[in-house]
Amino acid sequence: MEYLSLFVKGIFVENMIFAYFLGMCSYLAVSKTVKTAVGLGFAVIFVLGITVPINYLLENFVLKEGALTWLSPAYAAVDLSFLSFIMFIAVIASMVQLVEMIVEKFAPALYGALGIFLPLIAVNCSILGGALFMQERQYPSIGEATVFGLGSGVGWLLAIVAIAAIREKIRYSNIPAPLKGLGITFILTGLMGMAFMAFMGIEI
Amino acid sequence: MSTETATAVAPKKESLFSKKNRRLLTDPLDDSNPITVQVLGICSALAITVQVQQAVIMSLAVLFVMIGGNVIISLMRNIIPDRIRIIVQLVVIASLVIIVDEVLKAYSPDISEKLSVFVGLIITNCIIMGRLEAFALGNKPGPAMLDAVGNAMGYAWILLAVALVREVFGSGAISFPGMGQVKFLPESWFMANGGFYENNNLMILPPMALITVGIIIWIQRSRNQGLIEEN
């Protein structure tokens, strides 16, 4: 039940885009058509679902203060958390590379759909943001961290697909010229964010 | 709104500040602004603009990381193998961000708390990666530094403009460390004291950051018609 609650919270209440603005760059750049938006959205879910648990293990068995006690009790005072940024980003970059290679080898069809988006994702703030939120919120188990990662990814997919659908339609509307493209996308995202605020405080 | 700040910085060393190099400083303020035109680094620009104070700290942090990253990558540009350049860039940026984070934690823990994950997210701030890829990899350290300063300034003024609007309308006052709060309206005007004015709490919430940036883009593009998009 906690898992479901965490999942729903990640999608609606603490939506990566509407509440924290993470991954905005690719959100704005790749939301011109629904098809590419869906591709990038699934790639984000995929990578978040893999990197958040890995970074969780890293955080709890290497970086946190006292995390190294499984090696030897003498390391109880070692605190490597200042290294967390560099470790997280290294894990993300190498995982993205690895996932790209594995997908290319074993699932060429999936690679055709996600391939071009995977390299983009290494520098998508929502991935590093997921890892950093996981670190800040101190999830008690790896299961919860994974569910959080997947939920955030689904929330991101929802946001980008929604805005892409709106942008496809809005092409035929009469928008003031200076507002075309980027400007109206910002304002639309703001309005969608207001709508999403209605989910605030939901508990399951 | 942008050119004044640039001309104040420019005239120093002649060779470095030739006309071409000066454009590196002034262009990012308007014509190729990282946020409103190149659409880079939006995440942090929106999230930490609730208060002017946070926006200033964030801009300084980005300025530092940009200059450091651009100069270091520019110095190493001839020895970085092409295939692993992204990882090299990420490592350089991440090390600089760790420095910023540790300094913030040591000297102003409360601000570091407020910025929370967004200091770490400077690593994936696309402005920095974007400028490293587009400029530092192909240019000498001098121009690379100017490009860094210019882009960081272009980022900073948007950040400050958004933060100013949000804080003035959302909190009715601007708070600075050491100066207390600067209030714009007399106390007796507020609803709580029997007046008629109420702060617009919506301005503090996330959606208004997006709308404020949208309006800034609108204003900028209606003044600078060359930036208007086709669709």
Residue B227 has pLDDT above 80, yes or no: no
Q: Is A82 on the interface with B (CB under 8 A)?
A: yes
Residue A103 to residue B229: CA distance in whole angstroms = 36
SS (H, E, C) chain B: CCHHHHHHHCCCCCCCCCHHHHHHHHHHHCCCCCCCCCCCCHHHHHHCCCCHHHHHHHHHHHHHHHHHHHHHHHHCCCCCCHHHHHHHHHHHHHHHHHHHHHHHHHHCHHHHHHHCHHHHCCCCCHHHHHHHHHCHHHCCHHHHHHHHHHHHHHHHHHHHHHHHHHHHHHHCEEEECCCEEEECCCHHHEHHHCCCECCCHHHHCHHHHHHHHHHHHHHHHHHCHHHCCCC
What is the nearest CA distance from A147 to chain B, expressed in angstroms?
A: 20
Mean pLDDT of chain B: 81
A47 vs B contacts (CB less than 8 Å): none
Residue B6: predicted pLDDT = 44
Residue A180 to residue B230, Cβ atoms within 8 A: yes
Answer whether residue A143 is part of any domain. yes
Answer whether residue A105 is part of any domain. yes
| Alpha-carbon separation of residue A7 from A49, A68, A129 (angstroms) | 12, 30, 16
Q: What pLDDT, in 10s, does the model give residues A1-52?
A: 788 888 988 888 888 888 888 888 788 888 888 888 888 888 889 889 999 9
The residues in B 8-47 lying below 8 A from A, measured between CB atoms, are: 36, 39-44, 46-47
Of residues A22, A93, A181, nearest to B43 (C-beta): A22
Answer whether residue A204 is part of any domain. no
Nearest Cα to Cα of residue A132 among A85, A95, A87: A85
Answer whether residue A49 is part of any domain. yes
Of residues B95, B220, B222, nearest to A86 (C-beta): B95
Residue A191 to residue B207, Cβ atoms within 8 A: yes
Answer whether residue A165 is part of any domain. yes
Residue A161 has pLDDT above 90, yes or no: yes
Residue B231: predicted pLDDT = 57
Q: What pLDDT, in 10s, does the model give residues A103-136?
A: 788 878 777 776 667 777 777 888 888 898 898 8
Residue B231 to residue A122, Cβ atoms within 8 A: no
pTM (two decimals): 0.83
Measured between CA atoms, the residue of chain A closest to residue B35 is A25
Residue B9 has pLDDT above 60, yes or no: no
Structural domain containing residue A193: 2-199
Residue B124 to residue A124, Cβ atoms within 8 A: yes
What is the nearest CA distance from B144 to chain A, expressed in angstroms?
A: 21
Answer whether residue A150 is part of any domain. yes
Cβ-contact B91, A94 below 8 angstroms? no
Cβ-contact B77, B140 below 8 angstroms? no
Answer whether residue A100 is part of any domain. yes
Q: Is A80 on the interface with B (CB under 8 A)?
A: no
The residues in B 74-103 lying below 8 A from A, measured between CB atoms, are: 86-87, 90-91, 94-95, 97-98, 101-102
Residue A189 to residue B210, Cβ atoms within 8 A: yes
Residue predicted with more confidence, A181 or A142 = A142
Residue A121: predicted pLDDT = 78
Instruction: Label residue A152 by pLDDT band (50, 70, 90).
Output: very high
Residue B63: predicted pLDDT = 93
Residue B117 to residue A136, Cβ atoms within 8 A: yes
Residue B186 to residue B191: CA distance in whole angstroms = 11
Residue A93: predicted pLDDT = 85
Cβ-contact B126, A29 below 8 angstroms? no
Residue A116: predicted pLDDT = 67
Of residues B86, B90, B211, nearest to A186 (C-beta): B211
Residue type, B218: W
Q: Is B204 on the interface with A (CB under 8 A)?
A: no
How many CB atoms are closer than 10 A to CB A186?
27
Residue A165 has pLDDT above 90, yes or no: yes
Domain tally, chain A: 1
ipTM of the complex: 0.81
Residue A21 to residue B209, Cβ atoms within 8 A: yes
